[in-house]
Structure 1
């Protein structure tokens, strides 16, 4: 009976010691995201926006499950708005292209975090640097292009036959479509506990992607549709100069969207910012 009593005391002592680590955290994240691709600047961390009309932002929700005082699993849901502009690049060849644009990246990821000091236990305050890595999925805007070659119109609105091989109109349009992929997120951070239940963390994280089109710089042939006016097409059958001009214009437009093949490398995007979480719930015991 005495041994059973001692065993109960030992178990309760263990639970009282380890119960101080709180299990759950729920919060928000706010910061900035930027692309490292084939268009625009190649800075890994951008502090200031390009201008007040193009302010990149990263907003998210996060849930953190604390495994023990130094290890956690985290689920992210993040909205990112990014911009890229060759005129802001330091490389001369990019600056001369004058290509720019924006994209939206929606990310969900699962991360493992390791803290160098005890931070998940119940205490008034504390802090610790940490590292994280995991796997993620994301959706982003892709583009599907349409090239239309049509006859020019007369002043009365009627179509006219080309007077020479350059006398027709070529227009380019595109529509957005959502595309999905996987990424590998990893990074570093610093976490601070404030008054028991609130935690503030500052972090910088990179995302390696497995494709090269976050900045629309590597369009695939299947995403390009070419339409030629039937009458213009019949004329080109007998006038090789018109056919050659149509092919030349197609090549020029398609080549403009193939800048991503220059270095045969995939895109990255980085997120840096602040996480604010509220911790709640206590485990029955951290007995190992």
Structure 2
């Protein structure tokens, strides 16, 4: 009877135990901006981006993910292929500091307790991001800071990852953030006194993109499998 009870509890909790593994690590890559100033390329990193992240792998197919990342984003009309922007010649620099929480989904099983087996899977991530940035405005062709503000964004990340060594996972990802502001570039300042300085498409929000590598370390006790 005792052996039967032990076997029963092992079978019931096996999936939970194998899923509870932690990952902590870093992100390093680049950022680019998509908006009313500068280039319109979707993926064209031109500034350094870095951060830290933590994952709790709830199952081999999905994880809860939390991260902090930061970067400077820039745009220069002289780099654009749009003639109107070239003639205008505006440029800006803004500072992004973001906190993000959400769910990461693996296309294939990614059971990191099977340490002797190499795993490879594409993945997607989404959730909710809150970030701080500078409210900007443009006057006489010069971009200036008004004050520091914060707002939300929706992250949309695609990537691929593999456990390259025991306890080490390397990933590469591209992550676009759809923001709830149209003033990362100074085109639509919130300050009502600066309303006459607005320009660009006021019906389209700004985006910024982080592209780079993640390197995480996995840690937890391996599950106790019952002997046959």
- Relative to the length of structure 1, the TM-score reads 0.70
Q: CA deviation at 1:274?
A: 0.5
Residues 1:136 and 2:129 aligned together: yes
Residue 186 of structure 1 is aligned with which of 156, 160, 163? 156
CA distance in 1 between counterparts of 2:203 and 2:15 reads 54
Other-structure match for 1:24: 22
- For 1:17 and 1:212, how far apart are their aligned partners in 2? 45
In structure 1, the partner of 2:181 is 211
Structure 1 gaps of 5+ residues are 50-55, 148-169, 225-253
Does the 8 Å CA contact 1:15/1:284 hold for their aligned counterparts? no
In structure 2, the CA distance between the partners of 1:211 and 1:173, relative to structure 1 (3 Å rule), is: closer
In structure 2, what is the equivalent of residue 88 of structure 1?
A: 79
**Larger helix percent:** 1
How many residues were matched structurally?
A: 222
Select the structure of larger CA radius of gyration: 1
Say if 1:99 and 1:173 are closer, same or farther in 2 by CA, change over 3 A. closer
Q: Structure 2 vs 1, CA of residues 87 and 119 (structure 1 numbering), >3 Å: closer, same or farther?
A: same
| Corresponding residue of 2:48 | 57
Matched, 1:258 2:198: yes
Deviation at 1:34, TM superposition (A): 1.1
Runs of 5+ in structure 2 lacking a partner?
Answer: none
Shift of 1:46: 0.5
For 2:206, the equivalent position in structure 1 comes to 267
Structure number having the greater strand percentage: 2
Shift of 1:206: 1.0
Deviation of residue 196 (structure 1)? Answer: 2.2
